[in-house]
Structure 1
Amino acid sequence: MTATTPVVPQPEDAERPVRALPLHGVLPPDPGAFLDRPVYDPFSARRRRTPEWLVSYTVALVLGDLLAAGAGLALAGLTSSGVVALSARELLLALAWVALLAATGAHAERRFGTGSDEYRRVLVAGLVATSALAAAGALFPWDGSDGLLLVAAPTAVACTLAGRLLNRRRLHAARRRGLMTKRVVVLGRDVAVADLVRRLRRDAAAGLRVVGACVPRPDEARAVRAEGIPVIGTLSGAVRAVDDARADAVVVASASETAGEYLRQLAWRLEGTNIEVLVGPGLIEVSSDRLQVRPTSTVPLIQVQEPDFRGWRRLAKSLLDRAVAGVLLLVGSPVLLGIALAVRATSRGPALYRHRRIGKRGREFDLLKFRSMVVGADSRIAALMTLNEGNDVQFKMRRDPRVTRVGAWLRAFSLDELPQLVNVLKGDMSLVGPRPHVIREVEQYGADMHRRLLVKPGITGLWQVSGRSDLSWDESVELDVRYVENWSFGLDLAILWRTVRAVLRRDGAY
């Protein structure tokens, strides 16, 4: 068996000087193995300028953090003495808050736009600030120390989180228009690159805009070209291709050709250029919270933790679901009664509609909804099947003749779902979870789809806040499985927040 020489990134034309993309301080351990490649000057890298949008966004965050600290200090002054005083001490405290946020990594660019880590860093900074103020107040008491601890610190944290949320929404809106993004070149095999391109496109919030691809055999890269992405080089010519494309980042798809020595050489040749090297490990629909790097003496390993299907966190979710459902039913009882009377007064039949569904681990239960259709609507599906606007499994029509006038209004604002709070109170459902499963749909489930049955279905979920009835069947299944695999309290809170916006905007409601 003959040993194969690993492919390493190098210029496609060895006689053409490679400009501005050298190794930075580290040469290969065995230079003789790379004598067919140009020698790189380790200290002459031309560093790419930081994008203007990134500078302006970071400045906006810092100014927002300063304003948040100022708001906390002003409120503390008002509550303690009735006067807003912004002295040198207050200015130093505000600057200290910004410095603390920077020290905890809340200003790191990799946390902008996606994930909850940015918000966690703000909370960590708030905890440190509160602890420091409490210790200082106990050791060196001064007038106003209680106000700083009890008013200024919590207000600054709350205002900082609100400012970060508003800035993130602004960033997402810009990225949906193709602005405030990073130019990315993807490296790897044809099919792997095409799959990665599709996934990056779906996550516009990440801000990674693919401008080109490098594959082992460009003339055979049909899958990449089918995605509308130009093939700008081979794997061995990736360094020059990245430079010519003026890319801000390189994403390496998981493949044998781009592992080990290739990846190390690529990282060396991009050091000092301000070009990021990102690696797609080939893990699909796994959140970063479930990934941990396990270092060894030779290679870092990625540990994928099991999804959280049991334990105290699931018990806490169940108890919290029931408590919130009980409160909402009590507070909203006049609204529920009014809707029930409107349904009964405008069409023949009961106010509530019961439908048999499949819940956690295959248990059946009666899902409750306000009746939005005429009595006997289910028996008319076969006659309307040719007008189906839904996906291959679900029947949907934008102008369904079976829907009553009151029912159309209830559906538009998802008010017909409110009786499901009773299902939550009984323990059949959760506030947030996969879409409730219809029996005839479950009979068509594949192995992946059965993962949805590991948790309780929800009144709302990723499927509802991501397009709802406008989604294809595969897309809705993918979102449900993503939720099941990566559940967390933070994800539930984010979905509940997005649900309010989706309901008010009536996204995909029909």
Structure 2
Amino acid sequence: MREVIMSSGFVRNNINQFAIVYRFADFILIQLCLLLAASLYPATLSVHYQLIGLIGSTTYLLSAELFWLYRSWRAGTTKEILFYTLVSWAISVVVVLSFMFLTKTSDNYSRYVLISWMTISPFALCSWRLALRYFLFHIRKKGYNTRSVGIIGMNETTLTLMEELERNPETGYRVAGVFDDRDISRLPLKEGTPLAGRIEGAVEAVNDGKLDQIFITLPMTANNRIEQILHRLGDTNAEVHFVPNFFVYNLVHSRLCNVGGLQTISVFDTPMRGATVAIKRAEDIVLSLGILSAIALPMLMIAIAIKLTSRGPVIFKQNRYGVDGKRIKVWKFRSMSVTENGDKVTQATKNDNRVTKVGAFLRRTSLDELPQFINVLQGKMSVVGPRPHAVAHNEMYRKTVKYYMLRHRIKPGITGWAQVNGWRGETDTLEKMQMRVQYDLDYIKNWSLWLDFKIVLFTFVKGFVGKNVY
């Protein structure tokens, strides 16, 4: 949930008020770990060690900022926190080692001290975060460090919000009451709903210090009423959150933008902006180089098998849509006796006589996709992203599947969120393609380095085969 506060007509990101303390704690902890590593050897903390300590700490803080590690994690997951802590520290290690290499000063350091410091630090950084997080969870469940919440508007969005807050008591949000001006007979109440009166009562409760936060769940069509409520709440100290009604959740990576002094909300956007572009590209290069190094020999053997068992090229280059709908050539090991690449492309079906014997095995195991790691190095594809379809299929499905073309807001991938959830292979019904697109859009909305990591892990754990792959 994106938290926002309204002030003087502008929308601003909610900032964790303890973030400065967290940054200071991280900085000191990294320095203490270096001191501990030096004492274990023992070694004298010369100016050289102090310098790399400063470089490591500063790089870690900057990396943590990049991954929003210092935001409020009331509604975040523990796995994400630990993942981004380790990634931030890994970047710091790379920077420190690069500094030592470029300045040719590695002889000034004890390798024992360096290895100890680089091992102890991530353990310490993760440990104190876990300890603090579970301490906060514990006291919140007991009623401490909580936030008293009032919800304005009684509808399906309200019920969903209340279910989420009840399911996650560790967030510390406690619903004190729901406020709505309509007659009770018109409200979709459920048993136990804490209906607290009219909307004016929410403003009074805030002024009396009974509510810390307000969630507005009115539909966006009621913009005049919302404006009136915001005007009243703008004269209070409560944090105000706007929870859009259902259709807003179909927006692709919506975000706040500025046009001069006017704020807008982007409707169909891409998560690949600014530093995220570099992060995604670095991820692709590292993964593709590592995987290509491991599969070079198997790829050579596959190429020989294709050449010896059927006529035609080893690599089949098919026109597909890349990022922003631009055409790219996607490489695959040829698995059929034909190389269809025109305005009409027929999907492979069960017992398809166009599929060669070697091709059938390659398709079942997804080994025919291996050359696409070269596409990744070329920058045309990503390791993780929506699977690219033939141009003919794109032109067909864009007319029948809602929001189909939005899956091209980012680079296509070799594996994706739809594939690891079982939606790969033949799409012989419209419903199958709709489900695939739904998962693709969900990936774009929620993209993160952590999500990519999970998809790559699931791809290896679940394997590359699928029951609908022919």
TM-score where L is the length of structure 2: 0.51
Match of 2:407 in 1: 452
SS in structure 1 of the partner of residue 411 of structure 2? coil
Q: Corresponding residue for 2:226? A: 259
Give the whole-Å Cα distance in 1 for the aligned partners of 2:211 and 2:461: 37
- Structure 2 residue runs without a partner (length 5+): 1-17, 100-107, 337-345, 353-358, 425-430
| Kept in 2: contact 1:239–1:270 (CA 8 A) | no
Q: Say which structure, 1 or 2, has more relative contact order (CA 8 Å, 6+ apart).
A: 1
The 1-side partners of 2:299 and 2:142 are apart by 44
Change (3 A) 1:113 1:309: closer
**CA 1:113/1:182 → structure 2, altered by over 3 Å: closer, same or farther?**
farther
Following superposition, the deviation at residue 502 of structure 1 comes to 1.6
Structure 2 matches for 1:62-77, cutoff 5 A? 69-77=31-39
**AA of the residue aligned to 1:220:** R
1:494 corresponding residue in structure 2: 450
Gaps of 5+ in 1: 1-54, 135-144, 383-402
What displacement does 1:456 show? 2.8
In 1: Cα distance, 2:272 partner to 2:72 partner: 33
Check 1:420–1:65 CA distance in 2 against 1; reply closer, same or farther (3 A cut). same
**Compared with structure 1, are the counterparts of its residues 209 and 469 closer, same or farther at alpha carbon in structure 2 (3 Å cutoff)?**
farther
Structural mapping, 1:112-261, within 5 Å: 113=76, 155=118, 159=122, 163=126, 167=130, 186-188=151-153, 190=155, 193=158, 213-217=178-182, 218-222=184-188, 230=193, 232-233=195-196, 234-238=198-202, 249-253=213-217, 254=220, 255-256=222-223, 259-261=226-228
- Superposed, 1:272-291 pairs within 5 Å as 277-280=240-243, 284=249, 285=251, 290-291=255-256
1:72-87 alignment, distance < 5 Å: 72-78=34-40, 81-82=42-43
Partner secondary structure for residue 216 of structure 2: strand
Q: Is 1:378–2:351 an aligned residue pair? A: no
Give the Å deviation of 1:354: 5.7
Distance in 2 (CA, whole Å) between partners of 1:65 and 1:256 is 45
2:327 is the counterpart of 1:363 = yes
Decide whether the 8 Å contact of 2:423 with 2:436 is kept in 1.
no
Q: Give the drift of 1:458.
A: 0.9
> Is the partner of 1:333 in helix, strand or coil?
helix
Q: How far apart, in 1, do the equivalents of 2:381 and 2:389 lie?
A: 11
Task: Return closer, same or farther for 1:325/1:281 CA change in 2, 3 Å cut-off.
Answer: same
Contact kept? 1:355, 1:368, Cα under 8 Å: yes
Provide the identity percentage: 22
1:452 & 1:230 partners in 2: Cα distance?
A: 39
Matched-pair contact (CA < 8 Å) for 1:291–1:303:
yes
Mapping 1:333-482, distance limit 5 Å: 333-336=296-299, 356=318, 358-360=320-322, 361=325, 363=327, 365-368=329-332, 378-380=348-350, 410=365, 417-438=369-390, 439-440=392-393, 442-445=395-398, 446=401, 448-464=403-419, 467-469=421-423, 476-481=436-441
Paired with 1:159 and 1:216, the residues of 2 have a C-alpha distance of 52
Q: Which amino acid aligns with 2:185?
A: D
Compared CA separation, residues 312 and 239, structure 1 to 2 (3 A): closer
Could you tell me which amino acid in structure 1 is paired with residue 415 of structure 2?
T
1:61 and 1:163 in contact (8 A); partners too: no
Query: What is the root-mean-square deviation in Å for CA atoms of aligned residues?
Result: 6.7
Question: What is the alpha-carbon distance in structure 1 between the residues aligned to residue 307 and residue 283 of structure 2?
Answer: 32
Q: How far apart are residue 71 of structure 1 and its match?
A: 3.1
Counterparts of 1:69 and 1:112, CA distance in 2: 30
Measured after TM superposition, the shift of residue 163 of structure 1 is: 1.2
Amino acid at match of 2:440: D
Q: Aligned equivalents of 1:508 and 1:182: distance in 2?
A: 46
Aligned length: 369
